[in-house]
Structure 1
Amino acid sequence: MKHILTILLLTSAISLYAQKQGQERVDSLLTELEKAEADTTKVNILNEVSRQNISFGNYEIAMEQAEKALLVARKAQFKKGEADAHSSIGIIYSNQGNYPEALKNHLALLKISEETENKANMASAHMNIGIVYAIQGNYPEALKFFLNALKIFEEIGNKNRTASTYGNIGNIYRIQGNYREALKNHQAALKIFEIIEDKRMIASCYINIGNIYVDQDNYPEALKNHQAALRICEEVGAKREQALSSNNIGGIYRKQGNYAEALKSLFASLKISEQIGHKELMAMTYSSIGFVYEKLGELRESEKWLYKSLQLGKEIGMTDNTRDTYEALARTDSAQGNYKGAFENYKMYTAYKDSLFNEENTKELTRLEMNYGFEKQQDSIRLLNEKEIAVRDASIANVRKQRLFFIGGIVALTIIGGLLYYQSKQRKKHNEKLHLLNTELDQANRIKTRFFSILNHDLRSPVANLIHFLHLQNENPELLDKETKERLQGKTISGAENLLASMEDLLLWSKGQMENFKPEPKQIQIKQLFEDNQKVFSGYQNIHFVYNNPDNIEVFTDLNYLKTIVRNLTSNAINVFTTAENPTIIWETRQENGRVLLSVTDNGPGADSKKFRALYDDKEVIGIKSGLGLHLIRDLAKAIGCTIEVESTIGKGTTIRLLF
């Protein structure tokens, strides 16, 4: 499919030039050339003659005139004439399939155009370079140059070239499988060409649109567009596009199984392609004819055309055509029993495809190799059997006597083998069951160990603080003034509430580690969540809390799980404040890309990403030193299907995002 596209791209390059059809125009220019005295006039005439011959497909004459123009222009230091000559030479090389030389000349055109600030030539150079890159399969580079060209053409108001560029961009999108954008750009090109009544390019647009429908297997629409293109090409005498349309129609008939009409169209395309010397289209048509003969079962005839395509494709560097041809040759060799040839051709196909590690290709390669190995093995077996037959003929009487004994031995071995297999299968089944039980036991032990480690850390500290406060009030009440006593009582109450919240969190987490306990999601209001959190942490008067919920967001989840996550994230944020000025914690929620976003931001010292590993790594088990902390958040978030994202900057603070 790529070859069809790349040839259409070249039609856009040729549309750079205003064409006056007919040999009379060329004869008139040659008469003017004989009378011209100034070198600049001679260069302009030679370039125009070259352009006219390009439009007729007379590439040898066009190249001769362009090279003369380039020589005279350099001698006269006529930069515009030199640029026009490079443009013509580049287009000729492109049409002949010599892409390295085409790119060389188009880059020279771009350099001169930038030096002389000639925007029209700059745009044409970008267009032509993009064409060469597209033909060679470098689509990102091609798209980059096409977009540069489109911007300049629209800026200078060149409708013809703007439309051509839309067509090229559409072709790139088509290669990438973005058919909607491809069709959009080609229809934009068609609309402009219909306004300026450029029939040749209208035909090219129909070809491009037809190819998109082919890719989508919409053959009736594809055939309709390609036949419309062919009628226009025959009318205006556009040989290259006429050959291309015939080739495309042949391809559609082949896909529909109408092989007689397919060959008729393909041979018509080949005849024109050979007349104009278009090697890329010739190679493409050779392979298409080979594909049709393969479908007809005429494998020898198919191979003949495929090898012609392979030879020409290698000569002009058509990598994808060469790849597809090798694949077809592998099929024809395999169908004829030539597994060695099939194996070698398939190896070349995979090499060109540059994906030897692709699983499907590896399987196919292995199959061919096995067929080839099987063929060799069968030859060896055949020779061995011939020798055995001679020996067996000499001892046939003895073999008959031993046959019953041999059959009895086979039956005995079969029975023994069946018993051994059954015993092995039963042993394997018991081992698997035992392994499963051991795994479940290990998992239970890990959960128990983790649970008691967390209890040791997260409950000891709050309880110790409570005991300390109570002892102080009981044993040394005279040391406490009224204000201090009230403050300590408030802290005691706050500590007790936090202890209760921690115990609830531990209970919820421990339930989550058991199979029978699952979240119970329902529609909850974030406002309710924020109010609960504000109440829990109301005792931290030195920290400024902000809760932003302008759209009154709701989320479908388990309220208790989410409360625990929010409280722990808030607690973690509070714990990082040691030296920060104006410590602030901001909770906010909003809709983002169709999901509910809940985030907490602090202006603490920030931290390295390794500090947050427990949020993502299930193997990171937080024990005595870190308590519930991040792994509790991780496990609960995983249970309710919440995605966690962390962004922390040293010296600025941390933002943790929860996505539902």
Structure 2
Amino acid sequence: MKRCVFIILILSGAGIVRGQDETHNISRLEANNLLKSLNQKNVDTVRIDQLLRLALFNILKPGEQKADLDSAGLFIKKAESISGRVKSPAIWGYMALVKANFYRENGQKEQGKKFAEKAVALLKNTSDKYHLGSAYLELAHHYEFNDPKQVGEKMHLVERAVTALEYSKHTELKAYSLQFLADLYSTQSLDAKALPIIKRAIEAYQSIHYKKLQGAYHVYSALCYDLSDYENALTYELKALKVAEELKDSVMIGTIYNGLGMISDSIHDRENAKKYYKLALENAQRRHDLPAIGYILQNIVIDYDYLNQNKEALNFINSLPERDSLSNLKGTVVSFAFLVVYSRLNQPVKAEFYIDKLQKYIDLNHPTPLRVSRLYARFVRYYTDTHQFTKAKFYLKKVDSIDRAVNDHFTITWDYVLKAKLDSAQGNYKAALFNLSKFNTLHDSLLNETKSRQLKQIQVIYETEKRLNEIKLKDQNIRLLNQNSEIQSTNLLHAQHTKNWIFAGSCMLLIIAGLLYWQGAIRKKNNVTITQKNKLLQHLLTEKEWLLKEVHHRVKNNLHTVICLLESQARYLEDDALAAIENSQHRIYAMSLIHQKLYQSDDIKTINMATYIPELVQTLENSFDTAGRIEFKLNVEPVNLSLSHAIPLGLIINEAVTNSIKYAFPNNKKGEISISMKENEKQIILELADDGIGMPQIDHDTEPESLGLRLIKGLGEDIDAEISFYVDNGTLIVISFKPDLLNDPEHFLKSSTETLI
């Protein structure tokens, strides 16, 4: 019987609990700010998000105003007109979710369900778990919790919503989905599964200092009530009442008062139960809640009956206002109440008048078998008390037949009490004792069964919580191991690169040593060279010796540059180590390409930028797969630069072009990147430009946060270059520096001689 009463308690507040925290709507101020931002120039994805949030704001506003839905429809249409330019399943799924809300709120449930299913299908394969969880919850609304054929699918969808939102940063929606799931479990008598779930919901709410906890507290209380944990049931129902009163939640307050009355009844505190029921009744009358009024009124009368306060009960019934929905109850609930009172007051004429009314109600309305059984049981008690044994036996037979057909053990057990009272009233004490003995046996069996069930539920709850804690601990350990593995992999990769470059440097040093030895042998062998060639040979020897020393010096500097680049990149690693290493690989390639060109050229001291830059750009274009999307325009004069200038400029070009490819053209937008290099008598000008969205304005007086910008500025300083940034319909970087002194042999020889002296 308590399970039946508990279900009534849950269902009476189910809609309240489920609707309480669901919308997560933005405020009016946020909506106004979004409206203002629509006038600004934004990328398509941002604009679609703004429009859809404004649509949801109008859909989820309290009340159902046609003007709000019309506004929401306009925002959705505007977002749809833009979405054709965006190839994003996440955006399309979000739009389907908003349309599902729109159609459901507009009463078009079939259309709403169709778009909710579409939203789930689109969002399942994206990283947008927040909107996926919302889509599952939206789809769950299209299945009824009180329909046995639909409630299973409804629970399955809410379980998926909980899974999707498990690691979401949107804690409020995650907590709501947990509360929703616990509420569904409770209506299906799955208390052992529901209790740890509602605990997690409350913990999640409390972690964000959420205040509207009355619904979660009420569900937790109802679960404790069903497990006969009346202390916690009362504690959490009072907590729910306190929050509901602070927030002036009048709807929830009535449900909570009803729950407090039931808990008080279970601990035999009839006076307090009666007080809470009366408060719940007043609330239900204000809201014209007909089912709640009837249910609560019966509870009040039964409490009066237990307290033997029958005159007070009659006065209470007569004091009820004759209006609204209460007048519609006179043939059912109020008739039952009058029957109870007049039976106790020994007024048979009036009592039988209401028996006739209730019999007509049964004949016309065909209520549930258990409802009929309980009404007939009241008839049996009345006819037994008034010694109308034939009628008592007639209705007792009906009661016994109904209860056994329904196979309700609780009511079958208490039917033996009715039989014992009837036998005792007829003087058949032996049969009365037999029936009382049968009642005690079955009652003890029910108690033992209830205790066994409760112990099993407690064990299941303990095992469930233990398993959840183990899963949480395992997830933490896995994440920690993954982090350690990523760190170790990164360190190993760094070490391998360092080892490779050290090996390459060692080989180059051996080659240089061999060249030095070979040059020494040549000098000794050519001591007989003609005097006229001494000056030219001296010039060539000086140049070769300087170049060999310069190669040695540059190799060492390049190795150091590689190490510094990798160390600098490591400080920016957070999520994607692979991307960071790829960036470093591009930079290393920019340097290695210079060495390759240098070694392949007859002139081993300079690089022709007109051949170097196109090959570097082609490599970047292939690496990022920009074919058909980004067009490169090059205008590079045949400028010859030494390693001291070519390597920094190659790295600068690599950083600038990489940044343009990655960030200047979002959402696969088409664009153009242009590079030009010109030389005049005084300086060389390098210009790097794109027609993308433009980079943020740079404060030249402060150190930039971006590693790429820091590299560009630092490398510019290495060659004494002036660097300027312009952001207007794209980004333009202008780099100007003086020609390389190595390209002026007379100046070079003069400075080298001065250095040696």
Q: TM-score, normalised by structure 1?
A: 0.41
Query: Which structure would you say has the larger RCO, counting Cα contacts within 8 Å and 6 or more residues apart?
Result: 1
